[in-house]
Amino acid sequence: MARRAEPPDGGWGWMVVLSAFFQSALVFGVLRSFGVFFVELVAAFQEQAARVSWIASIGIAVQQFGSPVGSALSTKYGPRPVVMAGGILAASGMLLASFATSVTHLYLSIGLLSGSGWALTFTPTLACLSRYFSRRRSLATGLALTGVGLSSFAFAPLFQWLVSRYAWRGALLLVSALSLHLVACGALLRPLSLTEDPAVGGPGAQLSSLLRHGPFLRYTVALTLINTGYFIPYVHLMAHLQDLDWEPLSAAFLLSVVAVSDLVGRVASGWLGDTAPGPVARLLMLWTALTGVSLALFPVARTPTALMVLAVAYGFTSGALTPVAFSVLPELVGTGRIYCGLGLVQMVESIGGLLGAPLSGYLRDTTGNYTASFVVAGAFLLVGSGILITLPHVFCFSASASKPQDPKMDAVDTQVSLTKEGLQED
């Protein structure tokens, strides 16, 4: 395969964007709409909220903790067969979940099996997309991740209707059929070979460099904290609204409002990430702080109007932080290390995904309401935003600071500068 000197910033890359669009919809759109099943499963198995919350948390954690496996397999075999295999695993997990007789069965089917499938799909697809784009990376990532917002808008009321029509077992069976479309998403991926790839070394050399890179390590810690609070509304907002005596369909509609706002936020942030002066990390810091504030204010809102305003604010800002979060990483570590870097970040931040929802459920069981759950979730994001301030050039307004590394830069020089910068930052 011929090696390209730089990412094409288009061409087949737009088909990769299309693949990532549907793939993100079928992974995180399902996870974000899991609140519909959460209420049903608590009632069906007569379990506490904290224990049922582990289903989604295990799925998120396995998806992220297993990301280095997906990255390593993609480096060896290419992203296409890896993502296709992940689609089969994700669909199989949902299929088995429809026959579950205990919450433990759901831990194994949705949490472990589907989570493993998601681990083989999400990170390789996003890493492949990052290699196809440079100047338009934030916009391409934002467009790809709009699949999350659109699917959340559609899936929340759809799943609620399916549950009311076919019960939760039949609904999960149909979700399994939807998940099988991940195989088609994987078939669209075409690996891209860049001239810098041989010089960056194998996974061991890349890992050694990254573990000595101060900004990369701080960025990873920040995303872990963000991840701890980020998913709380998608697991517990519906239950919180039912505590306020909302009807299930009305609560599902509010989740759809969040999803539409999320969609707008992703596109707007992707455009700003490629056009606004200064580094993308500054935008990530801003959106993270605003998301944390909106989360902490949810318990204060009691009227439908106030909840609607907060839903719009949370949806927009939480959607806006996602594409720039993925765009910051190539600027920190270079395109040649994106598979290894993204896999490592996803693995570490799985700690937040694993603990976030159960902690929120525990606070609900202890206090009797979700006030502490949302306040603590917001606090995690605010602390993460504070750590992002320490990244290089966050307060630099020069045009050069806003651009990613030159893809034509010799990869050996990039390796040396990356290691030196990490040692100096430490």
Nearest to 23 by CA among 176, 178, 158: 178
List pLDDT tens digits, range 1-42: 556 657 777 788 899 999 999 998 999 888 878 778 888 888
Residue 385 phi/psi, 5° resolution? Answer: -65, -35
Q: Is the pLDDT of residue 381 over 90?
A: yes
Most confident listed range (73-87, 151-165, 264-278): 73-87
- Within 10 angstroms of residue 203's Cβ, the number of other Cβ atoms is 17
- The residues with which 216 forms a beta bridge, in sequence order, are none
Mean pLDDT, all residues of the chain: 82
Rounded CA separation 71/77 (Å): 10
**Measured CA distances, 376 to 153, 230, 324 (Å):** 26, 11, 24
Measured CA to CA, the distance from residue 125 to residue 102 in angstroms comes to 33
User: pLDDT at position 3, please?
Assistant: 63
CB 285 within 8 A of CB 276: no
Compute the Cα dihedral for 295, 301, 306, 308 and give only its sign.
positive
Which 8-state DSSP code applies to residue 194? Answer: B
**What sign has the CA pseudo-torsion 313, 318, 323, 328?**
positive
What secondary structure does DSSP assign to 18-59, as a single string?
HHHHHHHHHHHHHHHTTHHHHHHHHHHHT--HHHHHHHHHHH
| Cα dist from 41 to 26, 31, 155, 298, 366, whole Å | 21, 15, 17, 24, 20
Give me the pLDDT at residue 28, please.
84
Which of residues 356 and 173 earns the better pLDDT score?
173
Phi then psi for residue 6, to 5 deg, are: -155, 160
What angle do the packed helices 248-275 and 304-333 form, to 10 degrees? 40
The radius of gyration of the chain from alpha carbons, rounded to an integer in Å, stands at: 20
> 101: Cβ–Cβ under 8 A, 6 or more apart, which residues?
none
Strand partners, 194: 4
Local structure of 4: helix, strand or coil? strand
Q: Please give the domain boundaries of the chain with CATH numbers for all domains.
A: 13-425 (1.20.1250.20)
Are 20 and 121 in contact by the 8 Å Cβ rule? The answer is no
pLDDT at 237 (0 to 100)? 83
pLDDT of residue 423: 39
For residue 377, which phi and psi values (nearest 5 degrees)?
-60, -45
Type and span of the H or E element at 111: none
Encoded tokens for 374: 């949302």
Residue 2 is given by DSSP the state P
CA–CA distance, 309 with 294 (Å, rounded to integer): 10
pLDDT at site 197: 65
Pair of tokens at residue 117: 């499938």
Helices then strands (H, E): number in the chain?
A: 20, 0
Tokens for 199, please give them.
Answer: 């010089």
Q: What is the pLDDT of residue 182?
A: 95
pLDDT band at 267 (very low <50, low <70, confident <90, very high): confident
Mean predicted confidence (pLDDT) in 32-57: 82
Query: pLDDT per residue over 314-357, tens digit each?
Result: 999 998 998 888 888 888 887 777 878 888 888 888 788 778 88
Instruction: Give the separation between CA 378 and CA 381, rounded to whole angstroms.
Output: 5
Q: Are 110 and 137 in contact (CB under 8 A)?
A: no
Terminal C-alpha separation, the chain: 39
pLDDT of 89 higher than 50: yes
